[in-house]
């Protein structure tokens, strides 16, 4: 188990907060064990929450050029045919994974290929399951083309708590299945848009793991 690099600034802030809180308790209430125990407890809880959120576990990644691998940990909340308005501008099969604050938040390439499109959009912070979050929230869109010409679009979507999306992809990059393409801080959603007729390998409300679960 390692800590993701995106967590270093937040961990540093949590450490400073904890040090200040403990310092205040010890300075202003030197005789109060209750105050000092409370400060230590709050500090411990904060550090544990931050460290577990930014964890980046090692796994035996699933790699198969004929499969689309899940890009994120979480729960499948959408499987439906929709109109994809940004890049394809036609009907696609959408699979959405909701990430709670307790999930691993590293996002991984579902396929290998070449990045044909990568764009960050500023926007709102509606709750991630809101129907308009896909088009109105802060989000990123990445399209990877496999060597056989099939293109897959995946989108990071900020939620009510997620206030920063990190995308590493740039147009022209070589994408490697299960390698990192981004990170979303504090819970959100990832949408994957597949060609119609793709065989889906997951069900609604199924709990999935990024880089492990075969999505389709």
Q: Which residues are catalytic?
A: 188
The total of other beta-carbon atoms located within 10 Å of residue 20's CB is 12
- Helix ranges (DSSP H) in 5-63: 8-28, 33-53
All residues at 6 or more sequence positions from 116 whose CB lies less than 8 Å from its CB, including other chains: 143, 144, 145, 151, 171
Closest CA to 138 of 102, 186, 181: 186
Task: Say if CB 170 and CB 136 are below 8 A apart.
Answer: no
């Amino acid at each position: 188990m390692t800590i993701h690099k995106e967590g270093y600034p937040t961990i540093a802030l949590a450490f400073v907060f904890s040090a200040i809180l403990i310092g205040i308790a010890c300075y202003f209430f030197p005789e109060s064990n209750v105050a000092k125990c409370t400060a230590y407890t709050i500090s411990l809880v904060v550090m544990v929450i931050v460290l577990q959120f930014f964890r980046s576990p090692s796994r035996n990644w699933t790699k198969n050029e004929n499969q689309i691998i899940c890009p994120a940990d979480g729960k499948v909340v959408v499987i439906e045919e929709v109109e994809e308005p940004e890049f394809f501008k036609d009907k696609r099969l959408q699979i959405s994974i909701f990430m709670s604050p307790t999930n691993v938040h590293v996002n991984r390439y579902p396929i290998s290929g070449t990045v044909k499109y990568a764009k960050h959009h500023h926007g709102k912070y509606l709750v991630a399951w809101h129907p308009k979050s896909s088009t109105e929230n802060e989000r990123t869109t990445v399209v990877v083309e496999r060597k056989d010409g099939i293109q897959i679009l995946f989108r990071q979507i900020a939620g009510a708590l997620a206030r920063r999306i990190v995308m590493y992809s740039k147009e022209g990059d070589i994408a490697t299945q299960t390698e990192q393409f981004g990170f979303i801080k504090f819970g959100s959603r990832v949408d994957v848009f597949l060609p119609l007729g793709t065989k889906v390998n997951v069900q609604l409300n199924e709990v999935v793991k990024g880089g492990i679960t075969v999505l389709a």
